[in-house]
Amino acid sequence: MAKSETTSVNRKTEIISAAIEVFAEIGYYRATTAQVAKRAEISQPYIFRFFSTKEALLLAALEVSWTRVIDSFRKVVESASPEQLESGLIRAYEDILSAYQNEILLQMQAQTIREDAIQEEMRKGFGEVRRMVLEAFRAAGMSNPEERTMLFLARGMLCNVATALNMPEWMK
C-alpha cells in the first residue's frame, strides 16, 4: 500500500473512531460532523471526502463495532472447548464492554433509529452474532441451543443496559 493510501486508511479510521466517541457521548441526532471533525482534529469538509453523509459515517461506525464483536466471538468459537464455549463468549463480550464501551453505546442508540439503512445494519449485526452463537452451541452439543442462544443474547443486552446505566452489579 502506498503511503498516501495508508494515510487515507488511517484518517478514515480516525474519523470513524471520533464519530463513535461523539455519537456515543451526545447522541447521533445531536452530534454534528463539525463536532466529529473537531474530535478527529481535521476540517469538517475532510470528513466528506470519505463519507457522503452523517448517516454513512454512522453506518461505517456500526460496521466497525459489529466486526469487533463478531471477530472476538469467532476467535472464541474457533479455540474454546465445548465446556468453555459459553463462558469464553461471555468473557469476550465483557472485554469488549470494558475496552470499547462507546461502540456498544452506539449500537444501543442505533436500535432506536428508524432509518432503513441503519435498521438493516443492526439486523445484519445481530443476525450474524445470533447465527454464529447458535451454530457454535449446536456444534458443541449443548442441549436446547436455541434457548441457550436467546438467553446468551438477552444477557448481553442486560449487560449493555447495566453498562449504560452504570449498574455493574447487574452484570454479575
The whole-angstrom separation of Cα 80 and Cα 167 is 29
Contacts of residue 13, defined as CB under 8 A and 6 or more positions apart, other chains included, come to none
- For the chain, 172 residues long, give each residue's pLDDT as a single digit of tens: 666 566 777 999 999 999 999 999 999 999 999 999 999 999 999 999 999 999 999 999 999 999 999 999 999 999 999 999 999 999 999 999 999 999 999 999 999 999 999 999 999 999 999 999 999 999 999 999 999 999 999 999 999 999 999 998 888 7
Q: 38: closest CA among 46, 28, 27?
A: 46
What's the pLDDT at 169? 87
What's the pLDDT at 90? 96
What's the pLDDT at 7? 73
What's the pLDDT at 8? 75
What's the pLDDT at 4? 59
Three-state DSSP at 148 gives: helix
Q: Domains in the chain, please, with CATH?
A: 3-171 (1.10.357.10)
Residues 47 and 37: beta-carbon distance below 8 Å: yes
What's the pLDDT at 6? 64
Contacts of residue 19, defined as CB under 8 A and 6 or more positions apart, other chains included, come to 31, 36, 57, 58, 60, 61
- pTM of this structure: 0.92
C-alpha dihedral, 104 to 106 to 111 to 115, nearest 10°: -150
The whole-angstrom separation of Cα 160 and Cα 75 is 21
What's the pLDDT at 9? 79
What's the pLDDT at 5? 61
38-71 pLDDT, tens per residue?
999 999 999 999 999 999 999 999 999 999 999 9
Q: 91: closest CA among 24, 140, 159, 151?
A: 159
